[in-house]
Amino acid sequence: MESAERRITRRTFLDYLLGAGLLGLAGIVLYPLTRYLIPPKVTEVTGGSVIAAKVGELAPNSGKIFPFGGKPAILINTPDGQLRAFTAVCTHLACTVQYRPDLAHIWCACHDGHYDLRGQVISGPPPRPLEEYQVTVKGDNIIVSRKG
Amino acid sequence: MRSQTFLRNSLRHSAALRALLRAILFFVLLIVGSPSPSVAQQESCVTCHQALEGRLAAPVKGMDADVHAKRGLSCSSCHGGDPKRIGMDAMDPRAGYLGTPKPSEVPAFCGRCHSDPAYMRRYNPRIRTDQVAEYRTSVHGQRLVRGDTKVATCTSCHGVHPVRAVSDPRSPVYATNIPTTCGRCHADPAYMKGYGIPTDQLAKYKRSIHGEALLQRGNRLAPACNGCHGNHGAVPPGVESVANVCSVCHSATRDLFVKSPHKVAFDRMGLPECSTCHGNHEVARPTDEMIGTGPEAFCTRCHEPGSKGLAAAQAMRASLEALKSRLAEAETLVAKAANAGVEMSDARLTLQEAQTRLIQARNVIHSFNPKQVEAVTTEGLKFAEKGVAAGKAGLAEVQFRRRGLSIALVILVGTAILLFLKAREIERQKM
Amino acid sequence: MAEERYGTWQRWSEERLRLRAIVEFLRHKTVPIHRYSFVYYFGGITLFLFLVQVITGILLLLYYRPSADAAYESVQFIMSKVRFGWLIRSIHSWSANLMVGWVFVHMFSTFFYRAYRRPREFTWVSGALMLFLTLAFAFTGYLLPWNKLAFFATKVGTEIAGDVPLVGKYVMLLLRGGEDVTEATLSRFFGIHVAILPALATVILGIHLALVQVHGMSRPISVRAEREISFYPDFLLRDLAVWILVLALLGTLATLYPWPLGEKADPLAPAPPGIKPEWYFLFMFQTLKLLPSKIFLFEGEMVGIMAFLVGGLVLLLVPFLDVWAQREQQNRWVTTLGILAVAYLVIMTILGLALPAM
């Protein structure tokens, strides 16, 4: 009688444990799944392009650095209001270049490399021009993509 | 038609027949008073010299690739004479025949056209016409006037028959060919004997960072010999002009240097600016060991131990090292996290900024002002700190994943065991 | 009252779904227990890995983009930006590899215990078809992240298909969607991987599982069962426990050894030296490499590929070729042949791993 009772308790105990285990199992499977389903915030439109800025964010004669494919890129608005984008990695020693409103062209601070508004070398040690990217304005977004 | 071709081919293969043919041709041309129109177009210089051998035939062979010939100039354009006449008669001095110029005559010979802006404009409106004038100021030009015919003239560097355009990669003065072209004389100890200048410049240049950029990496913007010495007006830059020469490319460095206390000191001591530390032909990639008080440091050459100057050098080096070590730390952390499978591209972007500041700081050394260097490295340190934080966050993510895994493993293995027990129990009940 | 309602519900559903027969069937189905019983878990493990592939595959589809300029980046996106994306993708890759391996283990255990003998011939045939499908899944899925290794391995792999006599060129053209491996290949492989193969697999797996249920577990020749346990719930509970352990293994592998993504493929770049296919194709790759360039009058590669095709056909027809097993006899030569096949696969794979590719 007593042993039977013990067996029953043991069984119920096992059942409880098993229930808890299965519940935990459901938890550890479903938690990552639901988190996975929630879409993350995105800036990339497609693989080779990125939203670099909003229209109007960049005044004429100014520039902006943005990440593109894991490397810095620069979006410039020329003094006459044209949008252009280049890699921001200087071809000399891979410093990040910047836009100089006072000179109205792109400049690398490290060794005074100057690039014109087409990314061509004006002066200084850079050996090659900056690679130019494609700029597309779509709705409110300025989209930069690699030239095909 | 075919048999003619055959005949011509077989003739071409026989040296004896070739000589015979040449003789017959020569005679025919001499006898026939009025040559056929095609021969007239070809000019008698070409017709005859083509048929000759060795030195006398060489100019014709080279003319196909010659930039002058390509622009429609012919032998007589430079050498004078009358190509309409046949045989030796064509080389009549009364017809303006000049023949081969002596080395001392070469600059003037070429300069007849190349120093004439009105003439040159017809071929290339952008071409320079001051080369001969420049040449006369060069060491080569000045020695030539004094009767030294071993020095370089136009053709020594540009070649002759063919003279190729400078933009032709086969030209001896195409950017990447310049060092060897200058070295043909300047690296030849036998040839340079008696001039009392070293002949190791080419070897040194090849080892230099500029030589590497030009010759190994093919960067045509990197300076060759002429980048610093000038080409037509080649002279060694004087002490006072070294910095100006370097600053053609390294302007930022120069701007910092002229404002630095070194400018005054170097001027007073009569030291050339850049090359005092960096050397000339063998400019090496600068290292951080060059600044400071270590065994490889240049500062100790002039500055006394315990002086203010050495203290400044040490301070600048310390700023660099501080940024470098923090940056290295951040890079290690980021790499560790990336290896463990955490995406670290944003952190890498931050590190790139820190790296930019480090390179910038190395340049700012030339202000020889520790405060200015520190200002840049402090900015770099901020990015390095961000990188360290990102790396730590990445590693925390790895830890989070592993902790999550261990919790999951406990639940999974536990449940599996419980299921086995349950199955055994059900079985036992049945028995 | 409650019982009555339960009864009504049961009656209601039975009228429509006819489930009772299935439940009754499962309740009476038994699994023999003997010293080789552990192999009964092998098929279940394969099935579980397949289910993991289906689920994680569907999840990956939510963010994956099958185009040359977006594929690599989208996988990168999954692994870096999507919460637990690293886990899902890593599990998909690990599970794929384990599944390929386990399919072979399952097949050889079935082979050595002659489980294909009467009346289970078609269970074997459907299983062999599933093996081919699994390899096709692996081959097409491997390209989808569009990384350098996968790109060039696919190039080599489709080239091998191009050496099949007569139809080879067309097969290659059909696989690649053009003369070369391009974005068109990616589109095709994607379509094959997520639509065609799953459709085929569903049908064949359905047949395979139904046959397994109908015929029950095969008992190896001359092995006497100690006892029998019921399939439901006894065996199913154990099966479930094993599945959970496999899941634990997958989670551990995915967390501690995340599947690398590599570099993005550049179709214009020269092939990196030492390109090899994935380990499960190495035995074919290595064999073709070791063959002389000419065998009699034929090209060595072509002979090799023909041999593999014949080998595949033999594999498919094993139950009909092993006439001894049909008479409940274990033929020593069949066993030897199986051992030789295993040895061949293992040695060639090891050689493929150890030797430089070029």
- A59 contacts chain C (CB < 8 A): no
- Asked if residue C221 belongs to a domain, the reply is yes
CA distances to A45, A75, B61, C102, C199 from A64, rounded to whole Å, are 19, 5, 58, 53, 50
Minimum CA–CA partner of A32 in chain C: C84
| pLDDT reading at B322 higher than 70 | yes
B412: chain C residues, CB-CB within 8 Å? 244-245, 247-248, 251
DSSP B44-78: HHHHHHHHS-GGGTHHHHHHTT-HHHHTT--HHHH
- Asked if residue C122 belongs to a domain, the reply is yes
B340: chain C residues, CB-CB within 8 Å? 258
- Asked if residue C230 belongs to a domain, the reply is yes
Mutation target to probe the A interface, by most A beta carbons within 10 A, among B352, B400, B420 is B352
CB C154 within 8 A of CB C176: no
| pLDDT reading at B389 higher than 90 | yes
DSSP A109-134: TTTTEEE-TTS-EEESS--SPPPEEE
Interface of C with B in 203-232 (CB under 8 A): 229-230
Range of the domain at A3: 1-38
| Cross-chain residue pair C69–A32, CB shorter than 8 Å | no
* pLDDT score, position B36: 40
Mean pLDDT of chain C: 89
* pLDDT score, position B83: 84
* pLDDT score, position A47: 57
| Cross-chain residue pair B250–A93, CB shorter than 8 Å | no
* pLDDT score, position B239: 62
- Asked if residue C279 belongs to a domain, the reply is no
| Cross-chain residue pair C70–A35, CB shorter than 8 Å | no
Four-CA torsion C300, C302, C303, C304, nearest 10 degrees: 90
- B146 contacts chain A (CB < 8 A): no
| Cross-chain residue pair B405–C229, CB shorter than 8 Å | no
User: Given pLDDT bands bounded at 50, 70 and 90, which one contains residue A123?
Assistant: confident
Mutation target to probe the A interface, by most A beta carbons within 10 A, among C74, C76, C81, C83 is C83
- A25 contacts chain C (CB < 8 A): yes
* pLDDT score, position B19: 60
Among A15, A70, A126, the residue with its CB nearest the CB of B348 is A70
* pLDDT score, position B64: 81
Quick one: which of C51, C59, C264 has its CA closest to C144? Answer: C264
| pLDDT reading at C35 higher than 60 | yes
- Asked if residue A44 belongs to a domain, the reply is no
For residues C205-218, give the mean pLDDT: 92
Tell me if residue B368 falls in helix, strand or coil: coil
For residue A69, the tally of other CB atoms under 10 A from its CB is 17
Residue type, C183: E
C235: chain B residues, CB-CB within 8 Å? 423
| Cross-chain residue pair C88–A36, CB shorter than 8 Å | yes
| pLDDT reading at A8 higher than 80 | no
| pLDDT reading at A45 higher than 70 | no
Cis peptide before C233 (omega within 30 of 0): yes
A75 and A24, same domain (yes or no): no
A103: chain B residues, CB-CB within 8 Å? none
| pLDDT reading at B26 higher than 80 | no
CB A81 within 8 A of CB A91: no
A46: chain C residues, CB-CB within 8 Å? 65, 67, 69-70, 73
* pLDDT score, position B18: 59
User: Given pLDDT bands bounded at 50, 70 and 90, which one contains residue B337?
Assistant: confident
- Asked if residue A43 belongs to a domain, the reply is no
Instruction: Quote the ipTM score.
Output: 0.84
For residues A31-54, give the mean pLDDT: 80
B353: chain A residues, CB-CB within 8 Å? 72, 96
Q: pLDDT > 70: what percent of chain C? A: 98
| pLDDT reading at C214 higher than 50 | yes
A59 and A131, same domain (yes or no): yes
How close is the nearest chain C Cα to the Cα of B289, in Å?
36
| Cross-chain residue pair A36–C74, CB shorter than 8 Å | no
Among C80, C241, C245, the residue with its CB nearest the CB of B343 is C80
CB A11 within 8 A of CB B411: no
What is the Cα–Cα distance from B177 to B158, expressed in whole angstroms?
A: 11
CATH number belonging to domain B308-430? 1.20.140.10
* pLDDT score, position A43: 58
What is the Cα–Cα distance from B342 to B355, expressed in whole angstroms?
A: 22
Quick one: which of C132, C259, C102 has its CA closest to C200? Answer: C132
Distance of CA C123 to the CA centre of its chain: 15
Least-confidence region, from A55-69, B75-89, B132-146, C32-46:
B75-89
Residues C157-183: tens digit of each pLDDT = 888 888 887 888 898 999 999 888 999
Total domains in chain C come to 1
Buried (b) or exposed (e) across B100-132, using 16+ Cβ within 10 A? ebebeebbebbbeebbeeeebeeeeeeeebebb
For residues C254-272, give the mean pLDDT: 85
User: Given pLDDT bands bounded at 50, 70 and 90, which one contains residue B21?
Assistant: low
Q: Please tell me what DSSP assigns to residue B281.
A: T
Total domains in chain A come to 2
| pLDDT reading at B73 higher than 70 | yes
Helix axes C85-112, C236-256, angle to 10 degrees: 130
| Cross-chain residue pair A112–B418, CB shorter than 8 Å | no
A29 and A85, same domain (yes or no): no
| pLDDT reading at C136 higher than 90 | yes
| Sequence-separated (6 or more) residues with CB below 8 Å from residue C343 | none
CB C265 within 8 A of CB C151: yes
Residues C72-129: tens digit of each pLDDT = 988 988 888 888 999 999 999 999 999 999 999 999 999 999 999 989 999 999 999 9
* pLDDT score, position B301: 87
A12 and A73, same domain (yes or no): no
Chain A residue set in contact with B, beta carbons under 8 Å: 11, 14-15, 17-18, 21-22, 24-25, 27-28, 67, 70-72, 89, 93-96, 109-112, 121, 123-128
A15: chain C residues, CB-CB within 8 Å? none
| Cross-chain residue pair A46–C70, CB shorter than 8 Å | yes
For residues B149-165, give the mean pLDDT: 91
More reliable by pLDDT, C344 or B217: C344
Selection from A129-143, B127-141, C5-19, C192-206 with the highest mean pLDDT: C192-206
| Cross-chain residue pair C70–A48, CB shorter than 8 Å | yes
Token pair 């190039």 in the structure block, residue: C155
| Cross-chain residue pair B404–C79, CB shorter than 8 Å | no
| Cross-chain residue pair B355–A95, CB shorter than 8 Å | yes
| Cross-chain residue pair A21–B414, CB shorter than 8 Å | yes
- Asked if residue C227 belongs to a domain, the reply is yes
What is the Cα–Cα distance from C281 to C304, expressed in whole angstroms?
A: 14
Token pair 């269970």 in the structure block, residue: C123
| Cross-chain residue pair C72–A25, CB shorter than 8 Å | no
| pLDDT reading at C3 higher than 50 | no
A69 and A15, same domain (yes or no): no
Task: Give residue limits of the domains in chain B.
Answer: 101-196, 308-430
B420: chain C residues, CB-CB within 8 Å? 237-238, 241
